Amino acid sequence: MHASGPVDPSQSKLFAPLVLGNLSLSHRIVLAPLTRNRASSSEAHKNTWVPNELNTLYYYQRATPGGLLISEATPISRRASGSLGVPGIYTLEQCQGWASITKAVHDKQGFIFCQLWHQGRAAHSRLTGLEPWSSSAVPIQTLHRAKGYDPAPFDTPHSMTYDEIQEVHQEYITAARNAIASGFDGVEVHACNGYLPDQFHHSNINVRMDEYSGSPEARCRFTIELAQKLCDAIGSDKVGVRLAPFGLYNETRGDDRRHQWTYLCSALSKLEVAYVHLIEPRFDEWRSEGEKLELLHRSDTKEEVSLRPYREAIRSPTKCIVAGGYHPGNCWEGVEKGEHDAVAFGRWFVSNPDLVERLRTGKPLYRYDRSLFYGPFDNNEIGYTVHLSREFADETDIGRAQMV
Ligand SMILES: Cc1cc2nc3c(=O)[nH]c(=O)nc-3n(C[C@H](O)[C@H](O)[C@H](O)COP(=O)(O)O)c2cc1C
């Protein structure tokens, strides 16, 4: 697949500098957060994974001078974590592992934010040894799947009390402080894809009877209070938040979408967080772009299927990063028109560690192999830091779902 963008891509605004929080980026191509399940199992702490040298090489390969990387989703506690091989940021050895990664990225004059992750009801006691917590005692209906385990029903989560909500907020703050102490340039709250903050956003999951539920504004309260506390703890210029107004993953539904997510974007922007990171409506984990868009257009709400209202709710100095289905044929225009400030790439960055240079020079992209996205594998290098099959991608690679 060849870049079909501007005649000289290097002159595009995608390669113009951008001030984001306290960082001066030299271009606007961002590594999207990507769970790759290739960290090492801790010998000291059960059900806990630690960043290793291979992970350091992976991030080093993708770092560029003045470029922003967002880390894979990083659990803030053992209860928050429900996936094999995913490195957290709540033990000393994890922080030491991350410190090697942030140093490697900084050695290349790059920047890196840590995506803070709490899986809530999507975690499973058979992997954490702990009961999952969520906004309400509403379980995921499909089966939990993990390598080496038979599919099993999800646990019915414990509905967090007011005090437990404050406790979890405190865990986020500790994790954010750990991230800054480990050399990260900031943190991104993973507030989409049906994980804990998103379990407050959606009324089919959040059926609480208190101030964290009952209206679109109340369902945003968990995320806004969390963002406020993180801004107070580490500085608003070091806080980003990722949202998916059109997300359906992990059985989220998105009613009152426009009202709720414009309110949320506007509230986060008033806190002057460094950025809000929005996922495009076309992107879906299981459906192709065509299927997802058709589903959204068919829905009863007749809402505009576009990020426009959400982007417009984000005001300076907060920047807007977009992600989901961007490729060399469609990544130039939105930044050029000032619709958003930066573009994050996920899958193309997996198979093209030098993606920034390929986009700058119009070189073709290598195809990715989705069977190698999620480890752990006997050989964790393949499809991660080493790419064996080197076919160029073509138009048929565009628009597919992430998981199939
Ligand atoms: C292998 C893989 C792992 C992912 N892990 C995460 C994650 O940890 N956190 C997150 O917010 N999104 C995650 N995503 C979603 C991506 O960040 C991104 O939004 C999605 O892939 C769409 O962008 P793309 O079309 O450029 O791939 C993941 C996607 C893939 C393919």
pLDDT at 10: 85
pLDDT at 339: 97
DSSP track, 135-199 = SSS---SSEE--TTS--EEPPPPEEPPHHHHHHHHHHHHHHHHHHHHTT-SEEEEE--TTSHHHH
Residue 389 has pLDDT above 90, yes or no: no
pLDDT at 163: 98
Q: Whose CA is nearest to atom 12 of ligand 1?
A: 33
- Annotation says 249 is catalytic: no
User: Is beta strand 275-279 parallel, antiparallel or unpaired with respect to 133-134?
Assistant: unpaired
Q: Whose CA is nearest to atom 18 of ligand 1?
A: 346
Residue type, 277: H
- Residue to mutate (ligand 1; options 347, 350, 380; most atoms within 8 A of CB): 347
Residue 198's alpha-carbon distances to 136, 258, 294, in angstroms, are 12, 15, 23
- The pLDDT tens digits for 5-63 are 777 888 999 999 999 999 999 999 999 999 999 999 999 998 899 999 999 999 999 99
> Cβ < 6 Å from ligand 1: which residues?
32-35, 72-73, 115, 190, 193, 242, 279, 283, 323-326, 345-347, 373, 402
* All domains of the chain in start order, with CATH: 1-32+325-404 (no CATH), 39-324 (3.20.20.70)
Q: What is the DSSP letter of 397?
A: G
Residue 289's alpha-carbon distances to 243, 293, 294, 300, 325, in angstroms, are 18, 6, 8, 19, 8
Is residue 266 within 8 Å of residue 312, measured between CB atoms? no
pLDDT at 294: 93
Which H or E run contains 234? helix 221-234
Across 247-256, 301-310, 353-362, which has the greatest mean pLDDT? Answer: 353-362
Distance CA(362)–CA(355), nearest Å, equals 10
Residue 292 has pLDDT above 90, yes or no: yes
Whole-number Å distance, alpha carbon 210 to ligand 1 midpoint, is 33
Q: Which residues of 232-261 are buried (b: 16+ CB within 10 A; e: fewer)?
A: ebbbbbbbbbbbbbbbbbbbbebebbeebb
Place of tokens 């990544």: 331
Whole-number Å distance, alpha carbon 121 to ligand 1 midpoint, is 19
Q: Between 1 and 158, whose confidence is greater?
A: 158
pLDDT at 255: 81
Residue 54's alpha-carbon distances to 21, 113, 168, 286, 374, in angstroms, are 29, 19, 31, 29, 15
pLDDT at 263: 98
Q: How confident is the model at residue 300 (pLDDT cuts 50, 70, 90)?
A: low
Q: What angle do CA 62, 63, 64 make, to 5 degrees?
A: 120
- Residue to mutate (ligand 1; options 402, 403, 404; most atoms within 8 A of CB): 402
Residue 82 has pLDDT above 80, yes or no: no
pLDDT at 390: 85
Q: How confident is the model at residue 1 (pLDDT cuts 50, 70, 90)?
A: low
pLDDT at 399: 93
- The pLDDT tens digits for 35-50 are 999 999 999 998 899 9
Whole-number Å distance, alpha carbon 34 to ligand 1 midpoint, is 5
Q: Whose CA is nearest to atom 10 of ligand 1?
A: 33
Q: How confident is the model at residue 3 (pLDDT cuts 50, 70, 90)?
A: low
**Catalytic residue chosen out of the listed positions 195, 263, 310, 366:** 195
- The pLDDT tens digits for 203-254 are 999 999 999 999 999 999 999 999 999 999 999 999 999 999 999 999 998 7
pLDDT at 2: 52
pLDDT at 129: 93
Q: How confident is the model at residue 111 (pLDDT cuts 50, 70, 90)?
A: very high
- Percent share of the chain, pLDDT over 70: 99
Closest Cα to residue 31, out of 73, 74, 66, 62?
A: 62
pLDDT at 322: 98
How many Cβ atoms sit within 10 Å of the Cβ of residue 34?
22
